[in-house]
Chains A and B, each alone.
Chain A
Amino acid sequence: GAVVSQHPSWVICKSGTSVKIECRSLDFQATTMFWYRQFPKQSLMLMATSNEGSKATYEQGVEKDKFLINHASLTLSTLTVTSAHPEDSSFYICSANHRTPSYEQYFGPGTRLTVT
């Protein structure tokens, strides 16, 4: 149980285009979903926290107009990287909280984004 999926697992896009990444909780309803960015050999950097039906809360320094998050349902959140540039290339990971306990996050397998 508590499986989180991400789609796509990897994507290559051209500079200036937008890319959407989906995060789904497959067998549970997620109270909250989190989006992280991870650079090679580094830790996870929290980008934003999203709750179903409300606006995402972005961490300091994260451009909300560039990284659009939509949390349409209790099982789906999407991250759209708008007008992507090579510096946006990274590994993006989502996670979801089960309702109880609320601290335990279940992670998706990640999405590798390469912007050319």
Chain B
Amino acid sequence: AQSVTQPDIHITVSEGASLELRCNYSYGATPYLFWYVQSPGQGLQLLLKYFSGDTLVQGIKGFEAEFKRSQSSFNLRKPSVHWSDAAEYFCAVGGGSGNTGKLIFGQGTTLQVKP
């Protein structure tokens, strides 16, 4: 079955500390992977995406993610968190043959930033 798992429902980090949000996927074909961020009451903003090529991808707002096929993971990282990064983060996967464009979303991780 196709699925995305974000093991951490809630993470709290201090401002300036590094951050890693975990994402594991189960997908029957070559996955296209995404990280989105959602502020309260807002839609989703794309942080970064992986389709192919270099497994370390850079995104907006200083985020990066690394695709590890052997571990079925696509973890999101940021070296120094800012208070404005507090939000909900979603990992998503799509792709494969018979592509319909549909994405499968993880449960989300709530990031809280302590001053």
Question: Which residues of A are in contact with B by a Cβ distance under 8 Å?
Answer: 4, 6, 31-32, 34, 41-44, 46, 49, 57, 91, 93, 95, 97, 101-110, 112
Contacts and interface: CB of A to CB of B under 8 A. Distances in A.
Given A32-B101, A103-B34, 8 more contacts: A42-B108, A44-B90, A49-B100, A49-B101, A95-B43, A103-B95, A105-B103, A109-B42
Interface of B: 32, 34, 36, 41-46, 49, 51, 90, 94-95, 99-103, 105-108, 110
A107 B101 contact: no
B107 A31 contact: no
Given A49-B100, A109-B42, A109-B43, A43 B106 contact: yes
A87 B102 CA distance: 26
Q: Is the interface of B mostly helix, strand, loop or mixed?
A: loop
Interface SS majority for chain A: strand
A110 B49 CA distance: 22
Nearest to A6: B43
Among A31, A103, A105, A109, the one with the most B-chain Cβ atoms within 10 Å of its Cβ is: A103
A41 B101 CA distance: 25
Contacts of B103: 46, 103, 105
A62 B49 CA distance: 29
Given A43-B105, A43-B108, A101 B90 contact: no
